Structure 1
């Protein structure tokens, strides 16, 4: 196996006026991770998944060559091979529950996802998750026998998750990374619901869910061909917000600074710094208009989560029977996938997961005060005992209230309180990030319940 490597960049202290910088711009390790992602391996994996014929949730489970059962066993075997190559660094298992009496799962059906966990060395109870969906479908969501290749939707997301595991398993991280191939998405987001509920029961401190759903199409039904952009969907106000929290948010702000939004800003900046020829668009919405994906069950429980996907969709290739009609070819087949583009979005996931997992946990208990004062004071909790030695200090960010991204920053050292003199609280939004000794930063945390990433 490749020798395990660690980042090693020192961080200075001072005043900086800059765009949001989650890691040092010259961090060669993140550049190496981005370059290591292979379009050829992604193509191989997507082709294998397509060759199972259909991966419908209600399809064949006994066959070794066709159906959802064969697909999930192959995915598990791939994760196990990856683990062998890194000396057993992944915990690989099936995660399942029996679902019945649902509109799209009327009869009792075991919904089985595949999970691979790469434990952190310093703070293993802190998790970041990358996911893709195993299942596929045709025009009739209940048709479990017709060929449903699902090359882009969503073999691309599963292949990207496998490839990220191959690359990142050659490193060690402070926090834990989870690679998830989730089942039952087309029938009602059941794989995500099962995983999110289990994570909550097990007390996982989830700081980020990166759901990849359709990351391989570059030719939109609108006629646009674009392999240089992607979308990051991120919800605003948390589903779990209480009435009291909503009342406070009305007076202090936070509608555009949920943890999911600041996670999206973090990923957006990772694209700018480490992924050549990729511009990401942060979309202030849970998902596409009126639609959903497997990050939603995590958002429903209050966890930060986003959807990463192509910018221009081709609806002739989504949820369609294989056919030709009025000169139009329908169906989600291999020829509709750009493997280099899928590799580019996979690399974005990989560097984002790596940077967050090398960084300390986002600060907890962030608060702010400064009403009727010419200065602004921020406070936060000290790092946990496990992370004390890992934290070099903290960085305060602020921006004008109509600016989409963080504009200014100041490194303030290893303290839990800092006052920005002559910076008026009413004119800006503020946040705090944790910084490791090798320069890795957490996502920015907006003060109060509206922006909290959890304890």
Structure 2
């Protein structure tokens, strides 16, 4: 997450066709709401029974931290982009592409994975997380910047969401975007938002995952649910609050304690500015000593907490990808949802 608040076209990289039966959205939503978070990566971890695995998230976290730094101007940033593209392909996404942009004298890449919708493929749910990292010095592209919480946590969640969503049959398409350049002022997301606007894409909802691994309360359960409160497009506020209310309920159902927060300083901002309705999940750890530090290491992330936040995100994405879903539905009762 950044502390304050030239575009290239989409470049197709490869296409992977999903095979086999995928459960319809109604079943997928029931799975997302009721299935426990599985942590051992065993056969019980299959998407048909438990779509979110803390063990897989932890493995992806370790791999991302293993780059040493993912600073936007580092060579490791490029290698991380290639690694992410391979993981999205393995997850079964229909298309994986690089979206190029410039930062300083460098060309860098957002990684865009698409899961095509079956009834409204030209309408999209956008899910984003930035994969770049930084340490105490914003321009330091050489020294360690493990970025485990900020934001390997959100990026690992993005990969786990790709695995879960690729196994279902969304009505709308789902775009999962790993952004770079966030720490230098949302450079990658600004470039991609311009592409979205120029192409006239219809985005039903943007869900942002920036730091979801290090809860700040003593119980380790609080999760900030960000909503739009009078930013560039005040006309989005009501819809953002309505989606955030749903996300609050999903967080509670995942065993977490939702806390309302205002959108600021992350990759949803450029999309809000072009009229996209946005919400976000955030652990509040921008006030922790590890923030933008070489000490933001793997041991600072609680994989089970990250998996629970991912489960909440999955539930809201499944709803937003369903053309038949209405926000007029009453909030979820967690006790009823678990029955």
Greater RCO (Cα-Cα under 8 Å, separation 6 or more): 2
Matched, 1:232 2:225: yes
User: What is aligned with 2:316?
Assistant: 352
**Pairing of 1:22-421 with structure 2 (within 5 A):** 27-28=30-31, 30-32=33-35, 35-60=50-75, 67-83=76-92, 89-99=93-103, 107-218=104-215, 220=216, 224-237=217-230, 239-240=232-233, 257-272=237-252, 274-275=253-254, 277-283=255-261, 285-287=262-264, 292-311=265-284, 313-320=286-293, 322=294, 331-360=295-324, 395=328
* Rounded Cα–Cα distance in structure 2 between residues aligned with 1:191 and 1:33: 34
TM-score by length of 1: 0.62
Cα distance change of structure 1 residues 315 and 36 upon mapping to structure 2, 3 Å threshold: same
Q: Deviations over 1:41-92 (max 9, x none)?
A: 00100100111111001112xxxxxx10111100001011112xxxxx4210
SS in 2 for 1:227: coil
Q: Which runs of 5+ in 2 are unaligned?
A: 1-18, 38-49, 333-339
Q: Where is the helix percentage greater, Structure 1 or Structure 2? A: 2
SS in 1 for 2:321: helix
Q: Deviations over 1:151-210 (max 9, x none)?
A: 110000000000011111100011111111100000110111111111111121112111
SS in 2 for 1:168: helix
Cα distance change of structure 1 residues 155 and 174 upon mapping to structure 2, 3 Å threshold: same
Contact 2:78 2:108 in 1 (8 A): no
Matched, 1:5 2:2: no
TM-score by length of 2: 0.82
Please tell me whether Structure 1 or Structure 2 has the larger radius of gyration of its CA atoms. Answer: 1
Contact 1:234 1:282 in 2 (8 A): yes
* Rounded Cα–Cα distance in structure 2 between residues aligned with 1:2 and 1:32: 21
SS in 2 for 1:5: coil
Between the two proteins, the alignment pairs up a number of residues equal to 303
How far 1:299 moved relative to its partner?
A: 0.8
RMSD: 2.6
How far 1:267 moved relative to its partner?
A: 1.1
Contact 1:141 1:186 in 2 (8 A): yes
SS in 2 for 1:110: strand
Q: Deviations over 1:378-435 (max 9, x none)?
A: xxxxxxxxxxxxxxxxx588xxxxxxx89xxxxxxxxxxxxxxxxxxxxxxxxxxxxx
* Rounded Cα–Cα distance in structure 2 between residues aligned with 1:361 and 1:190: 33
How far 1:28 moved relative to its partner?
A: 4.8
* Rounded Cα–Cα distance in structure 1 between residues aligned with 2:277 and 2:33: 23
* Rounded Cα–Cα distance in structure 1 between residues aligned with 2:159 and 2:296: 20
Q: Deviations over 1:241-284 (max 9, x none)?
A: 6xxxxxxxxxxxx79x5322222112112233x42x2121222x
Contact 1:126 1:361 in 2 (8 A): no
Contact 1:116 1:180 in 2 (8 A): yes
Q: Which runs of 5+ in 1 are unaligned?
A: 10-22, 61-66, 84-88, 100-106, 242-253, 323-330, 364-394, 398-404, 407-455
* Rounded Cα–Cα distance in structure 2 between residues aligned with 1:335 and 1:280: 23
